[in-house]
């Protein structure tokens, strides 16, 4: 595997796709801050020397026996919605080729801010699941924890979580278990009562 050009990698039962290192956040808990073992918990170095083309994304995915995996997950070491158009192209080509696999995107949920338009309709018919990082229970804490580049990121993320449910069968929102228990419960209420999404508390994994 070419160093600095890991496009796809296996973790657990899933195949993960690494389309970009670009991100509009600088989260306090991000693994990008820890370079002790090459920059990831997946043993591969996910820092890309350059972004793969959409054709390279497709070729890397289809070089695997996809029947081995439960899910195909677009996430990587950046915010995947920066490559949304190309990812949609890849999924469309896979469908044309008759490929059937459960598709998921892990995102910070601010893609509509990034693109300056409502991107939720783009997910229709392409994704079986979207996982969105809720992270915390207030906009103030969110800004302090995630350092988003765009103002209004917290409300934009929640609005996207509501909207994308119209187009995707499963929408999950997550927090990391490093936040206080009271905050975890507040986030549960936001996710389940306000947004109507599936809630998951993720274990923090140190590199």
pLDDT at 206 (0 to 100): 60
**Is 50 exceeded by the pLDDT of residue 40?**
no
CA pseudo-torsion sign 77, 82, 84, 90: negative
pLDDT at 12 (0 to 100): 94
**Is 50 exceeded by the pLDDT of residue 86?**
yes
Contacts of 185 (CB under 8 A, 6+ apart): none
Domains in the chain (CATH in brackets) are 8-202 (3.20.20.70)
What's the whole-model pTM score? 0.90
Structure confidence by residue, pLDDT tens digits, 183-207: 999 999 999 999 999 999 988 766 5
Average pLDDT of the residues in 44-67 = 92
pLDDT at 42 (0 to 100): 46
Q: Which residue has the higher pLDDT, 149 or 191?
A: 191
pLDDT at 13 (0 to 100): 97
Whole-number Å distance between alpha carbons of 86 and 58: 10
Phi-psi region of 45 (alpha: psi -120 to 50; beta: other; left: phi over 0): beta
Percentage with pLDDT > 90 across the chain: 75
Average pLDDT of the residues in 128-151 = 94
Q: Which residue has the higher pLDDT, 28 or 105?
A: 105
């Amino acid at each position: 595997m070419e160093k600095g050009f890991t496009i796809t990698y296996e973790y657990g039962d899933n195949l993960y796709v690494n389309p970009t290192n670009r991100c509009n956040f600088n989260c306090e808990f991000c693994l990008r801050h820890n370079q002790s073992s090459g920059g990831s918990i997946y043993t591969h170095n996910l820092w890309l020397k350059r972004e793969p083309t959409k054709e390279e994304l497709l070729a890397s995915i289809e070089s695997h026996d996809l029947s081995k995996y439960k899910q195909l997950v677009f996430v990587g070491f950046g915010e995947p919605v920066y490559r949304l158009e190309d990812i949609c192209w890849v999924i469309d080509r896979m469908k044309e080729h008759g490929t059937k696999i459960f598709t998921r995107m892990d995102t910070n949920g601010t893609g509509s801010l990034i693109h300056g338009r409502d991107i939720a309709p783009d997910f229709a018919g392409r994704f079986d699941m979207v996982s969105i990082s809720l992270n915390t229970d207030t906009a103030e804490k969110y800004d302090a924890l995630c350092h988003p580049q765009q103002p209004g990121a917290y409300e934009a993320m929640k609005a996207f979580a509501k909207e994308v449910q119209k187009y995707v069968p499963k929408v999950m929102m997550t927090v990391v278990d490093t936040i206080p228990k009271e905050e975890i419960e507040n986030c549960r209420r936001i996710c389940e009562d306000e947004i109507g999404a599936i809630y998951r508390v993720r274990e923090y994994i140190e590199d």
